[in-house]
Amino acid sequence: MAISGHGHPRFTRQSGAKPHVFHGVLMSFSVFKFDRSIEAGIAACGYSTPTPIQQEAIPPIRSGHDIFGLAQTGTGKTAAFVLPLLERLLNGPSRTLRALIVAPTRELAEQIHDNIEALGRETGLRSVVLYGGVGKTPQKERLRAGVDIVVACPGRLLDLLGEKALHLDRIEILILDEADHMFDKGFLPDIRRIIKLLPKKRQSLVFSATMPDEIRQLAEQTLTRPLTVQIDHGTPAPTISHALFQVEAAKKTPLLKHLLEDGEMTSTLVFTRTKHRAKNLALQLTKAGFQAASLQGNLSQNRRQEALEGFRDGTYGILVATDIAARGIDVTGISHVINYDVPDTAETYTHRTGRTGRANRSGLALTFAAQEDGRMIIQIERCLGEKMTRRTTPDLPSSSEALPSHGDTALHQGQRNGGANTGRGKVPPRGNDKGNERRDRPARHGKAQQGIGEPRQWTDQGQPKAAEKPQRPLGKSERRSEHVESRQNQASTAAASAGQHKGAERLSATRGDNGRHSASRTSRACAFDFGLTKNGK
């Protein structure tokens, strides 16, 4: 817990330590003695025992303290701030905007809003969620009708503030969720603009998975004499098993298809580094007969929501996502997480794998690693406190199918007629179904145009059939986007490695004919530390 002082707050980082101010273990939500209307919502959601972050954060929030919360994905932090928020708003004027929650992504904002609706169903309090990608008119109508809580993404919130659609002069409590991700997306200047519009006398809560210097500075500027609650934010849940395959890039997709044939992979989340790769990988899985969808930045809000809902209800057994788009995914029962691309940092690995092994269920995290990923694997294993289980890569042919690098979104239905799940995430092959085909329109500004239920037909060489309109080349902004993503990923990995491996050989970047950067292979010493032989044993 942080030590409160005069002036700027000071923070202490405690790995898994419990605040000494609060004693005892809360075995039931009844210990909190919430209002009956809130207890009804808790019971309706099936909550019985509070998680560690709920045990430690709820008492000081109810007491009015500013809080800096550090907790990993899937720890129950949303309920940790929603429950005391609802209790506070029960007393005071209704239909008056008194609470503001800011989130970095649309999915996370929707998740928080859904939690408020579920836990506060008997309280009579109203919440509205505000984000871009959809029309402003319905959001303005909800605001005019009167709300108690606004859950918003920074961009749309500032837009509506500029149009005088809402005012923040009566805000009593501010909550910034996933503050580190707001920094990653460049939202900190927007957050500071929003904070300047708030009353100085308020309660503020900041939640983050990590605490880089920028987030520490934001907390110092936002919080007053805060208490820090930290619950093993850098350590994956003990219910997750970790395994690794050494596999060259050309064999990753064949290996993924081979693993997806396993009947135990009932709900699988696959992570890639870039949105273009997520889209193309989901497309190739769909062509192979799997029920797959992608979740990435080029999708409209309706398509993102449909992909997420389809994954949640089992329509899609496989969801391919980027780290940015996956923020806010709240899906219980994910059986497997697959790192198709090795993450840039050990903390990102923790966030990814935290989507499985929830609610005391077991989960399995699989990582595909090439030889040049050795240094990052070492860092991840140091975070885990143990080596991942090495699995032998089966003898698979290299992928001979050329993935399209652009074009229609990979958000496709596994079945054209909405049939039931046929098991192992696969569906029967599609027919021509010419009546359902349509001519593709060129994508504008890099945005995907094709929607759900409109799968494209491809030749064995990965090219559009003659009857289809040929794909256009990548636009300048798209090439720059993927190029920047690639460079940022490599820079992040190199920087993280340099601090812990002073004597290690530096990664050298070589520019290929396609204009992208690729890292050279590491030294034999690094390969030895990687713990893999040439055959992956």
**Residue-range domains of the chain with CATH:** 29-231 (3.40.50.300), 240-530 (3.40.50.300)
Please check the confidence at residue 97 and state whether its pLDDT lies above 70: yes
Q: What pLDDT shows up at residue 191?
A: 95
Please say whether the beta carbons of 464 and 335 come within 8 A: no
Question: Residue 363 pLDDT more than 80?
Answer: yes
Question: pLDDT of 426-453, one tens digit each?
Answer: 544 444 433 333 333 333 333 333 333 3
Q: Tell me the pLDDT tens digit for each residue of 318-334.
A: 999 988 767 667 677 88
- Counting residues of the chain whose pLDDT is more than 70, the rounded percentage is 66
Could you give the CA distance from residue 332 to residue 329 in angstroms, rounded to a whole number? 9
Segment 115-133 mean pLDDT? 95
290: DSSP letter:
B
**Model pLDDT, residue 325:** 67
Lowest-confidence region among 118-132, 290-304, 461-475? 461-475
Place of tokens 């500004």: 445
Q: What is the pTM of this model?
A: 0.59
Residue 89, pLDDT > 90, answer: yes
Confidence at 488, pLDDT banded by 50, 70, 90? low
Which range, of 204-208, 238-242, 262-266, 311-315, averages the lowest pLDDT? Answer: 262-266
When pLDDT is cut at 50, 70 and 90, the band that residue 397 belongs to is confident
pLDDT at 4: 34
Q: Which residues pair with 268 in a beta bridge?
A: 318, 336
Residue 163 has pLDDT above 70, yes or no: yes
125 falls in which pLDDT band (50, 70, 90)? very high
Q: Which range is most confident: 302-306, 332-336, 374-378?
A: 374-378
Residue 419 has pLDDT above 80, yes or no: no
**Dihedrals phi, psi of 326, to nearest 5 degrees:** -80, -15
Mean pLDDT of 63-77: 85
Record the tokens describing residue 152, joined without a space.
């918003």
Question: What's the mean pLDDT in 253-259?
Answer: 94
Q: Which of 244-253, 298-307, 462-471, 513-522 has the lowest mean pLDDT?
A: 513-522
pLDDT score at 520: 38
Per-residue pLDDT of 170-222, as tens digits, reads: 999 999 998 888 887 789 999 999 999 999 999 999 998 777 788 888 998 99
**CB burial of residue 477 (10 Å; 0-12, 13-18, 19+):** exposed
Mean pLDDT (whole number) for 125-146 = 95
Give the pLDDT score at 323: 83
What does the pLDDT read at residue 239? 80
Q: State the pLDDT at residue 361.
A: 77
Q: Which amino acid appears at position 201 of this protein? A: K
Per-residue tokens: 500: 């812990």
Q: What is the pLDDT of residue 243?
A: 95
Q: Which tokens go with 131?
A: 């984000």
The yes-or-no verdict on residue 537 having pLDDT over 50 is no
Provide the pLDDT for residue 88: 96
CA dihedral 375, 376, 380, 382 (to 10 degrees): 30
User: Which residue has 């920047």 as its token pair?
Assistant: 484
- Residue pair 389/241 in contact (Cβ under 8 Å)? The answer is yes
pLDDT at residue number 356: 85
**What's the pLDDT tens digit per position in 32-62?**
999 999 999 999 998 888 988 899 999 999 9
Which residue from 132, 450, 494, 194 is spatially nearest to 344, judged by alpha carbons?
494
Q: Report which of 345, 324, 328 is spatially closest to residue 274, judged by C-alpha positions.
A: 324
Other CB atoms within a 10 A radius of the CB of residue 525 amount to: 13
Residue type present at position 390: R
Q: What average pLDDT does range 77-102 have in this prediction?
A: 95
Using DSSP's 3-state secondary structure scheme, residue 495 falls into helix
State the pLDDT at residue 242: 95
DSSP string, 349-376: HHHHHTTSS-TT--EEEEEEE-GGGHHH
What pLDDT does 521 receive? 37
Average pLDDT, the chain: 75
Cα angle, residue 64 at apex, residues 183 and 207 outer, rounded to 5°: 20
- Of the segments 157-171, 346-360, 416-430, which one has the largest average pLDDT value? 157-171
End-to-end CA distance of the chain: 44
